[in-house]
Amino acid sequence: MAILLTGCAGFIGSHVLDRLLSMDEEVIGVDNFDSYYNPLIKGKNIEHNLNNKNFTLYNTDIRNIQEMDRIFSDNSIDTIVHLAARAGVRPSINDPMLYEDVNIKGTLNLLELSIKYNVGNFVFASTSSVYGANEKIPFSEEDNVDRSISPYAASKKACETFCYTYHHLYNLPVVCLRFFTVYGPRQRPEMAIHKFTQLIDEGREIEMYGDGSSRRDYTYIGDIVDGIVNATGIKEGYEIINLGNSDVVELRYLIRVIEQNLGKEARIKELPDQPGDVPITYADISKARSLIRYNPQVKIEEGIKRFVEWYRNERIVFQESDISEISKIIESHIPAVVQSPDEDRSKEKKYIAV
């Protein structure tokens, strides 16, 4: 039996893929190599796994129900780890319909197919953004989350509700994981830590929204992967679980830690707070500790040190004009091989572009 991993080439997904393959799990990966950021980065994120006999990659979109149905029919999928989504609070304000289409429709497709093909459990990637401008801290899974302040957050809250509906109607085991500001190697280039690091390193000005007093519960990627993998062990019920570090960091302090690791001083331009941003995120992780043995280990100082080391030594640098080159990545690493149902798929490695 296999694990279906959506968004397998992204920041979090590629790390989960590494972990699952290291555990000798069979992984069916789905990613559409969307151009939200340079798709070549995603190709490079998983390039080292393309020849692993336990990994099958499909280049397709979770919104395409016909292609997703074929993936399910061609593979024995027992667990779904659903990470694929349109991410970003601020961009969602400019294009809410896209977030509804990708996040809600895509998740509904997977829920429908889970029932059709008797999937054993469903792990869904939600977000701390669902808490909105919550004044009660730390944020608990029992808090009311009916007042989303961005379309991104609203789309994820809607997905949590649909997940519960499918659990209620069909007894599908579901775990919704609310991630709190994940960072680390391979972080998306537009995210704050990556963006600040690059701009400070290059001597360019960074834009700081607000006075720098906003606080975030930054969570290192390795700790998040621990939580995701442990959550796949829940085989009954419906659970919402926070995955954070439970240790808030002020924005000005974050910038200072980056400066220290780069050995360079930031040039800061203060700007007004942005619509959709919240003053604080802070996870109560007591449920995660007890239910899935979640125990985050990496504090912000160590995590930034690791990120800056990756940035200097391993990061992938492409120009925006290189985005068209994704077709070459697909052609060279993921040949369009679509085997008929009668062929024996157990004897050879599969790369499938559909």
Contact 215, 281 (CB under 8 A): yes
Comparing C-alpha atoms, which of 272, 268, 271, 270 is closest to residue 203?
A: 268
Query: Which residues have CB under 8 Å from 354's CB, separation 6+?
Result: 58, 59, 60, 67, 70, 71, 336, 338
Q: Let me know: does 198 contact 191? Beta carbons within 8 Å.
A: no
Return the structure tokens found at 337: 């091989």
Q: In 224-281, where do the E strands start and end?
A: 238-243, 249-250, 267-271
Across the chain, the runs of DSSP E, i.e. the strands, are 2-6, 27-31, 55-59, 77-82, 121-127, 174-179, 182-183, 205-209, 215-216, 219-220, 238-243, 249-250, 267-271, 351-353
Q: Catalytic: which of 37, 152, 238, 282? A: 152
166 in active site: no
Give the pair of three-digit tokens for residue 36.
């939200």
- Amino acid, single-letter form, for residue 152: Y
Q: Could you give the CA distance from residue 235 to residue 121 in angstroms, rounded to a whole number?
A: 6
Q: Which of the residues are catalytic?
A: 152
